[in-house]
Structure 1
Amino acid sequence: MQIRRIARKILIPFLLTLIIVKVVGCTSSLPLPDIRPNPTPTPKVTSSRPRPKTIEDIAKKTTVFITGRGEPGSGVIVEKDKNTNTYYVLTAKHVVGIKPEQGERDYIIQTPDNQEHIAATSDNYDEKVIKLDDADLALIEFTAEENQIYEVAPLTNSLSSSIPVYAFGWTSCLKDDASLDKQFQQTKGGICELREDDEHGWDIRYTNNMDIRYTNNIVKQLSGGPIFDEIGRVVAIQAAFATVGEKEVGCNTIPKNPDNKYSDALGVSVEKNIHALNSKLLEKQSNNKRYKKSLFIKLDVDSKTAKNPNTKVKCRQPPKRCPPILPLGEEKCMSEFR
């Protein structure tokens, strides 16, 4: 009896140990469940540089059509006064450069939503239009209704030769009511030459201080339209073009890529004129009490620069050089540019 009790005390724990070892040994060959937390997915790195389609979207939302006393032109919205819902359009001076007389057509800005805004009349022209003295640039303002909100195009002073550029604007075949038959134009090219200094340039009868030459196809009514870099920022304003072969008036869609039927075009850079524009704007604000605080035309603060391509962009042919700063209407020095 005593021996049986001792045997139970020894054998039962021993048998239990064997059973546990057997069970553990069997399960150790099975895969253990993964109970680690799911790793945080790594965000995809995308380039902040827009593709041409994105640049086109920016241009379509900021490029305007300007009609008034003379040939229609284009422009681009570059600033907004939030206090008054007033927008500022950068354009070529020769598009809005002549003050309308009593009874003449007002300057009207047609925005991308097809709304027409009376911008400058014979009575308020001097208040609504700011013109640079020595360059073919101007600012013209319009005030929209409270529910009319428009985008503003970024500007940059980053500019170098051979970078790809995209030019935009509106054209029309109808002179009397151009806004009824307008179409959006877009062309791609590159900057083939930058003016070295203020004493050498391509100054012709309508325009002064043009400092970039580019290979985009351009026609008359694109004057004042924006030139974007590949990041989607305005680097210059279109100012003049040259006619080669068939003359284009903007009735048809312009070829997007450089075409030998066209010649190179000339523009006025933001880089060399932004300070002069802001000086003129501040001067105007100081003489007008409706401005509650100083308004500046701002540059894009992004440090990115347009990538310089390995291939140099070549101009089609050398332009005829003219003396700097020709008075408006001067015809003594004529080049192939118009």
Structure 2
Amino acid sequence: MPERRALAVLLLTLALGGGVWAQDRASAPPPVTPTAHEQAGRCVEGTEQTCMDLVRRSKDGQERRIMVIRTGSDDSTGIYTLCTPQEDEPEDAPNVGVFSESGAGGIRIIIDKNLIQAPLAVVTQQSAEGNQEGSDGKVEASSGTARFLDEVPEGQTDRLSRCGVAVERQPRPGTVQVTQGKTQLTGQTLNYDGADGIARIAGPITFQRDDQADPLSGESKNIEINVDTEATLLVGDVVLRSKGGRVSRAGRVEYDDQASTARLYATPEQPAESVRGNDVLRITSGVIVYNLEKNEVYANAGEGGNISGEFLDEAAPDRAP
């Protein structure tokens, strides 16, 4: 009997883990212990989990790595393959790595302070120049699957088909999960391009910041992660709502969970504002700095900027602004 019970629990655990990505969820995937690659800050050999990294050398001379890691190792939950240049392609043609994982950890993509998880990722790595170690490239991630083909189809010209791999992308809202400190965000696709060093996560974006004092939630159209400047931007009709009643809006918001700040950028076409009860702060140029821990804001309108607001005592609503 104890053996049967243990087997039943194991089967239930596997069933729940294998199907976790099949749903559109607002919550992030279960936490996974950082892999040996993450602990080392680079892909390392001799580990169970496969890894591929891009090395970006920015104008400031810094070397920054983007790691793509498959958390599972069971053939029944996904695959990893590296598709190298074919015989009729140039020797310096890029390598293409395909990662898929339907298990709870999915595919982990590490960009700056952001941990991004998705069921599917395709990595294009340019050939290294000279004696340099590693090179930049592209990353595409979303919901979907990948599998090995029984036979390579005739007449195909794309690299993956010729390598005997089929990739089926199925973008859906909520299936690309982003973790930054206390903050959980969701989107539906990620595209990183070494041409400009920006990783773009397409929305709709929803997010939740767990804070015992004043939890924060909200949405935006997209996310942009600038690898060179290590800045994370919420872009397009950004709304931040605190449980304490503050509602803040802007077209672009630089978000830093570690520093507990959100910087709301204003333009004449799309002012930035923060409202709490009877207090209204609005600017048409410059930035509103939002202290997430204290739930406080202050404005820097910049040269030629305009600050307007109403600051009323809630106990005396008839008082003039």
Q: Same fold (TM over 0.5)?
A: no
Question: Under a length normalisation based on structure 1, what TM-score does the superposition of the two structures give?
Answer: 0.25
Question: Normalized per residue, which structure has more strand?
Answer: 2
Whose RCO is larger (CA < 8 A, sep 6+)? 1
Question: Under a length normalisation based on structure 2, what TM-score does the superposition of the two structures give?
Answer: 0.26
Q: Which has the larger radius of gyration?
A: 1
Question: Normalized per residue, which structure has more helix?
Answer: 1
